[in-house]
């Protein structure tokens, strides 16, 4: 985005260059090797200008998309982390298995609810994985991709442990 701003700041210079070259090319006189060279150079410069500004615009758009997705990803991971922690606390606070029929029934209901919560969390982890994959496509830097995966694992691994316990 910084580079795109630099290019925008230099747009007037680029236009002045085009005007000056146009003056040389349309001036009186015969077409000489030097005017032919000016025309080739101008075409090359204009081609590079368009190519670079297109790349910068594309990259800027990717960065904007990555910012939105990254915010969604971080919020989802934070929410998941809190939910995993809450389910873990519910699971660990379950009373020891009782022999009383009413208590057993209550424990089975609680366990069923916890399993349902874990299944929902598993679904949300898959959503987070999808966001992670989409973000990985938008960013080019491998170390950032690795960091995204690490953050997902900090939530997914404890959930896996809860699934095993539930």
Question: So what's the pLDDT on residue 146?
Answer: 94
Query: Cα(79)–Cα(84) distance, rounded to whole angstroms?
Result: 9
Polymer length in residues for the chain: 166
What are the tens digits of pLDDT across the range 2-39? 788 888 888 899 999 989 888 888 877 666 778 888 88
pLDDT (tens, 9 = 90+) of the chain, 166 residues, equals: 778 888 888 889 999 998 988 888 887 766 677 888 888 999 999 999 999 999 989 988 988 999 999 999 999 999 999 999 999 888 888 767 767 788 788 888 888 898 899 999 999 999 999 999 999 998 888 999 999 999 999 999 998 888 877 7
pLDDT of residue 91: 83
pLDDT of amino acid 161 = 86
Is 25:38 a contact under the CB 8 Å cutoff?
Answer: yes
Q: Which of 13, 7, 98 is nearest to 53 (CA)?
A: 7
Tens digits of per-residue pLDDT, 61-70?
Answer: 988 999 999 9
Query: For the chain, which residues make up each domain, given as ranges?
Result: 2-165
CB-CB contact of 131 with 73 (8 Å): yes
Question: Residue for token digits 């670079």?
Answer: 52
pLDDT value for 30: 63
Does the pTM exceed 0.85? Answer: no
Burial 4-22 (b: 16+ CB within 10 A, else e): beeeeeeeeeeeebeeebe
* DSSP annotation of 10: T
Q: Which CATH class is domain 2-165?
A: mainly alpha
Number of separate helices (H) and strands (E) present in the chain: 5, 0
Q: What is the pLDDT of residue 50?
A: 93
């Amino acid at each position: 985005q910084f580079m795109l701003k630099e290019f925008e700041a230099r747009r007037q210079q680029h236009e002045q260059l085009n005007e000056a070259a146009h003056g040389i090319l349309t001036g009186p006189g015969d077409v000489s090797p030097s005017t032919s060279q000016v025309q080739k150079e101008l075409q090359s410069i204009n081609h590079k200008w368009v190519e670079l500004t297109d790349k910068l615009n594309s990259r800027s758009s990717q960065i904007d998309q990555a910012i939105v997705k990254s915010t969604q990803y971080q919020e989802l991971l934070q929410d998941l982390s809190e939910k995993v922690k809450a389910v873990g606390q519910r699971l660990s606070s379950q009373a020891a298995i009782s022999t009383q029929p009413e208590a057993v029934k209550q424990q089975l209901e609680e366990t069923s609810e916890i399993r349902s919560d874990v299944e929902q969390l598993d679904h949300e982890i898959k959503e987070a994985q999808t966001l992670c994959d989409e973000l990985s496509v938008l960013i080019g830097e491998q170390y950032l991709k690795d960091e995204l995966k690490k953050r997902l694992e900090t939530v997914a691994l404890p959930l896996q442990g809860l699934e095993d316990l539930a």
